[in-house]
Amino acid sequence: MYGVLGDWGTGKTSALKILEARLNTILKNKAFVSSEPVCVPIWFNAWKYENEANLVYPLLKAIQQDYETRRTKLGQIKEELEYRGHQFGAAFVRMAAGTALVSTDLILRLISKQILGDALKVEDLDKLLELLRKKPDTDQQLPGVWSDVERTLGAWTDGVGLLDQAFKDLLDAYAADIAVGVDIFPEQVRFVIIIDDLDRCLPDTVICILESIKNFLSVEGCIFVLGLNAQIVYQGISHKYHGVNVDGREYLEKILNYTFYMPEPEIKLIEAFARNRINELVGKATQAQFRAEFDTFGSVLDECKFNNPRKIKRILNRYLMFLAKYETTLSAYFMRDVVRLITIAEYFPALFQLFLYDGTQAEQARTRSKFRGANFQVEEYEKMFGLKIQDSLPQLIRLSNLFDLQKEKDDLVRHAQAVYSITRLI
């Protein structure tokens, strides 16, 4: 498994789309050496299915849909397509049935129905499993019960154990079609399953997907490429193994064979990115009217080392709203503080509240929110303002220039309230 790591908004989806497009181009144009493997990309958006109890099945459906789309373009004769389609369909049914075994409640329901002929209900089977842990010395006290339970557990173990083989059969059936279409051997076909938007899923969902892939879908000839936020994984680890000393970084290293981090844009490119975005959004007349304000916007983000592309777009939209609302009174505002406050409101809304109402508190926050340096006392800061910032501290240190606000007390509150009027995030 490969991981493409980065914070939300750093371009992971774009990078994965580029990978998918390149692999598709190679496959379509047969731009590969016939003796070397060829990769078939399959896209799966995990976020769409995070509320599903069984995440493996939607992934199978994505593979099936990809197969149906591609096989009509391979140019085989109708009879051969139908024959191979039956092969793939049969493999899909076997695999889909097997995926039920990764959901505990479904395991018990299916096995109790198929193996025991509805003789045992799920709740009864739960009780028997508990009895099994306290099994008496002789089976005579509950005749027939132990054999039923042992058959059930044996069927469950065998079923889960066969999942990876069923998955391999499914991909082999798909590879046979691809091989005919591009004139290579089936053994040369590789599948690259690209899973996007993992960082949008709940931490528990991310862990479930990772473990399902590792435990049930790790087969030869299949590569998984996942876009995810490492911090989300760490949170999921902390939640799932609450009270157990499990290192999130080590866990991720065991799951992912290779990881690649999204590169951060060079600081000198931030202003250029902001300027290009402004050119896309506003006309030349508006650009000329607010030239100084637009220059300030890019300059401040540059100073603050704020380089998340998606966040920059959101902040710029807020900034344009501010310019439109206060167009006739802009001279009353110090725009460098305005840019900083908009960014704080978007990125750290809890901290933004410190500047909203009380001039004394705003002044304290302005002078004490210096997150860089060895003298910063996080516990004292949290106690003073009633906020929890420990988890956000690495980001606050990296973006500490955001809090280099120039206005003081009541004037700072006035600026914050003006920003609040166009953000409404609190």
Are 318 and 422 within 8 A, CB to CB? yes
Residues of the chain scoring pLDDT < 50: 76-79, 81, 83, 100-122, 124-125, 128-129, 131-133, 135-143, 145-146, 148-149, 152-153, 156-157, 425-426
**Domain span(s) for CATH 3.40.50 in the chain:** 2-103+162-261
Q: Is domain 2-103+162-261 annotated with CATH 3.40.50?
A: yes
3-state DSSP assignment of residue 202:
coil
pLDDT tens digits, one per residue of 271-321: 777 778 888 888 888 888 888 998 898 889 888 888 777 788 888 889 999
Share of the chain above pLDDT 70, in %: 72
CA 232 to CA 199: how far, in whole Å? 6
Query: If DSSP codes are grouped into helix, strand and coil, which group holds residue 28?
Result: helix
Which residues pair with residue 384 across a beta bridge? none
How far is residue 253's CA from residue 25's CA, in Å, rounded to a whole number? 31
Closest residue by Cα to residue 426 from 307, 340, 331, 344: 344
Are residues 320 and 282 in contact, defined by beta-carbon separation less than 8 angstroms?
Answer: yes
Tokens of 50: 């995070």
> What pLDDT, on a 0 to 100 scale, did the predictor assign at position 73?
65
Which of 85, 225, 103, 87 lies closest to 163, judged by CA? 103
What pLDDT is stored for residue 21 in this prediction?
92
pLDDT at residue 162, rounded to an integer = 62
Could you give the CA distance from residue 406 to residue 412 in angstroms, rounded to a whole number? 8
- Give the pLDDT score at 132: 44
Looking at residue 166, what is its pLDDT?
A: 74
What letter represents residue 34's amino acid?
S
What is the amino acid identity at position 308?
N
- Note the residue count of the chain: 426
49, two tokens: 């299915």
Q: Say if residues 330 and 293 touch (Cβ distance below 8 Å).
A: yes
Q: Residue 9 is encoded by which pair of tokens?
A: 């908004």
Beta bridge partners of 4: 227, 260
Strand partners, 3: 226, 259
pTM confidence score: 0.60
Give the SS3 label for residue 109: helix
Taking a C-beta distance cutoff of 8 angstroms, is the pair 1, 257 a contact?
yes
Write down the pLDDT at residue 234: 77
> How many CB atoms are closer than 10 A to CB 271?
17
Sign for the pseudo-dihedral over CA of 48, 53, 55, 56: negative
